[in-house]
Amino acid sequence: MNKTVETRLLASPAEIHAADIQLAQARISATIAPTPLQYCPRLSQITGAEVYLKREDLQDVRSYKIRGAVNSISQLSDTQREAGIVAASAGNHAQGVAFACRSMGIKGRIFVPAATPKQKRDRILIHGGEMVELVVTGANFDEANQAAHEYAEATGATIVEPFAARDTVIGQGTVAAEILSQLSTMGKNPDTVVVPVGGGGLISGILSYLAELSPRTAVVGVEPEGAASLAAALKAEKPVTLETVDPFVDGAAVKRIGDINYEIIDANLGRLHPMTVSEGAVCTEMIELYQNEGIIAEPAGALSATALHDLKLTPGEVVVCIISGGNNDVLRYAEVVERSLVHRGLKHYFLVNFPQEPGQLRSFLNDILGPDDDITLFEYLKRNNRETGTALVGLQLGKASDFDGLKQRMNASRIDCRHLEPGTPEYEFVVS
Q: Is the pLDDT of residue 384 over 70?
A: no
Q: Is the pLDDT of residue 1 over 70?
A: no
pLDDT at 356: 86
**Do residues 120 and 144 touch, judged by C-beta distance below 8 A?**
no
Q: Minimal CA–CA distance to 251: which of 425, 93, 383?
A: 93
Arithmetic mean of pLDDT, 90-109: 93
pLDDT at 219: 98
pLDDT at 7: 36
Q: Is the pLDDT of residue 301 over 80?
A: yes
The SS3 call for residue 379 is: strand
Binning pLDDT at 50, 70 and 90, where does residue 83 land? very high
Q: Is the pLDDT of residue 10 over 60?
A: no
CB atoms within 10 A of CB 33: 10
Q: Cα separations (Å) of 418 from 197, 288, 401?
A: 37, 32, 19
Say which CATH architecture domain 345-430 belongs to.
Answer: 2-Layer Sandwich (3.30)
C-alpha to C-alpha distance for 214 and 208, rounded to whole angstroms: 10
Q: Is the pLDDT of residue 13 over 60?
A: no
Q: Cα separations (Å) of 258 from 96, 155, 197?
A: 19, 24, 11
The residue length of the chain stands at: 432
**Which residues are marked as active site?**
65, 324
The SS3 call for residue 275 is: strand
Domain 65-166 in CATH 3.30.70.1290? The answer is no
End-to-end CA distance of the chain: 39
Arithmetic mean of pLDDT, 217-221: 98
pLDDT at 256: 94
Arithmetic mean of pLDDT, 150-156: 95
Q: What average pLDDT is seen over the chain?
A: 93
**Do residues 190 and 179 touch, judged by C-beta distance below 8 A?**
yes
Q: Minimal CA–CA distance to 251: which of 298, 296, 295?
A: 298
Question: Comparing 65-166 with 345-430, is the CATH topology the same?
Answer: no
Pairing of strands 85-88, 158-159: parallel
Q: Which amino acid is present at 56?
A: E
Q: Which residue has the higher pLDDT, 300 or 428?
A: 300
pLDDT at 292: 97
Binning pLDDT at 50, 70 and 90, where does residue 8 land? very low
pLDDT at 429: 81
Q: Minimal CA–CA distance to 144: which of 98, 109, 113, 108?
A: 113
**Do residues 277 and 225 touch, judged by C-beta distance below 8 A?**
yes
pLDDT at 223: 98
pLDDT per residue as tens digits for the range 386-395: 778 899 999 9
Helix then strand then coil, in percent of the chain rounded to 5, is 45, 20, 35
Domain ranges of the chain: 18-63+168-338, 65-166, 345-430
pLDDT at 2: 40
pLDDT at 12: 53
pLDDT at 385: 62
C-alpha to C-alpha distance for 30 and 211, rounded to whole angstroms: 27
Pick the CATH number of 18-63+168-338 from 3.40.50.1100, 1.20.120.10, 1.10.10.10, 1.50.10.20: 3.40.50.1100
Q: Which amino acid is present at 122?
A: D
Q: Is the pLDDT of residue 66 over 90?
A: yes
Q: Is the pLDDT of residue 432 over 80?
A: no
pLDDT at 425: 86
pLDDT at 17: 96
Give 209-247 as a DSSP string.
HHHHH-TT-EEEEEEEGGG-HHHHHHHHTS----S---T
Percent of the chain with pLDDT over 90: 84
